[in-house]
Structure 1
């Protein structure tokens, strides 16, 4: 009879073998596609694995703004860029080129598995006999948190205010649930030129459960040369300059500001 420890050892070996198989997958083929997270600002926020993957690629695909952040890595490569809202088209192009035995990196800001290209790429892959890699990156939540101090030391929820792909009514329920449960709340895509009221609606919902003095951190252009960091309060933060390049972190009932940094206590006895 196999014991639980045997199962654990076998599971460990299975993980190692799976990783080895992934490394050698399609070893007779030269083409592959990788969804690469370049972090919030490219450059210094780029992981070594992301750097090496982009350098190895012969084709790089992405939103033009993101490609500009890594321009020093793309010289001499085939470049395909497109505008926002063309994520599906970019992934289709990446898979097509990889199927032609090209090494393709399709880049996302932050992490490709957090509101990025990884999911679309895997959904579209279908039965293509291709190696598909997912290369993680620093997502805006953690990059923004680092710029603000330590606001994510306890449980937190990440919510996008964009209703392009998710009904606003569902987003409202998620905000309500996170606010009523005292999660620190990270807001992605808080405001755009065509969507200016959602952030105010979010403020109204959260204010039912938290003091107007709750600290709120606002970071625009995180990890980029023009980064702007603002610390405000729940009662006033919507008056600050906020756009699609901004990430907002709203503290929980225990969060506070010290030395111009937001701290959410983990609960240690100090």
Structure 2
């Protein structure tokens, strides 16, 4: 049995009961080293296999082979494993290799949902996720998606917004959106949601400071109806008040 678990953004308070139970049932836990550290109190004396960044295929293949050998294996991802996590890759590998193993997926709270709850209610209407990492997606494709989402007036959640290797991607995204986005549009930023160094702040599209944003941050850009009141970022659903 291979269980692919979304452990949420980082705190036990945001981990589902199903995820906790699945971790407790597992014999072996496989994951990126940062995520295995987050669940260390739940793994006890279980065997834990850690890998670093850019080892996703190796990590999933290891988990699959251990499950094939008859072990109860938990493969963990932060947030939800089906959103920029390991769920899709595991299923690709299992189906392409035509393996006869049981794979169970356990949903988790995403970074966008966690961040939104800290900011107010910015995701009340249609929204989308866009990752600004071009490691697996060509940057021209990402640019097309940014323009399409902005022109359609989606609230946009930017994952992987800025790192040392791509410091200018978030600024470029805002440049592409400028034609469609009012400078007063609210923007919320949450860094390390659900973790010890959690931070959040509100700004506007026109006054956005990119410098404090890093890879642990999630940036939410409102739509034309989004507003801030009493320190809360709110996107109306359309109810008549």
Listed as ranges, the gaps of 5+ residues in structure 2 are: none
**Runs of 4+ deviating beyond 3 Å:** none
Partner residue in 1 for 2:109: 138
Structure with the largest fraction of helix: 1
* 1:153 pairs with 2:98: no
> Normalization by structure 2: what TM-score?
0.97
Q: Secondary structure at the match of 1:81?
A: strand
> Number of aligned pairs?
239
How far has the Cα of 1:236 moved from its partner?
Answer: 2.1
* 1:101 pairs with 2:70: yes
Higher relative contact order (CA 8 A, sep 6+): 2
Partner residue in 1 for 2:33: 64
Report the Cα distance in structure 1 between the residues aligned to 2:67 and 2:180, rounded to whole angstroms: 50
Larger Rg: 1
| 1:212-245 deviation line (CA, Å, top 9, x unaligned) | 1110000000011210001011112233411110
Report the Cα distance in structure 1 between the residues aligned to 2:36 and 2:125, rounded to whole angstroms: 34
Note the 1:21-100 alignment, pairs <5 A: 32-100=1-69
How far has the Cα of 1:211 moved from its partner?
Answer: 1.0
* 1:112 pairs with 2:89: no
2:170/2:210 contact within 8 Å kept: no
| 1:18-63 deviation line (CA, Å, top 9, x unaligned) | xxxxxxxxxxxxxx11110000114111100000000000000111
Q: Secondary structure at the match of 1:93?
A: helix
Report the Cα distance in structure 1 between the residues aligned to 2:209 and 2:128, rounded to whole angstroms: 19
Report the Cα distance in structure 1 between the residues aligned to 2:209 and 2:147, rounded to whole angstroms: 18
Listed as ranges, the gaps of 5+ residues in structure 1 are: 1-31
Q: Secondary structure at the match of 2:209?
A: helix
Q: Secondary structure at the match of 1:120?
A: helix
Correspondence for 1:194 among 148, 156, 165? 165
> Normalization by structure 1: what TM-score?
0.87
* 1:263 pairs with 2:240: no
Q: Secondary structure at the match of 1:239?
A: coil
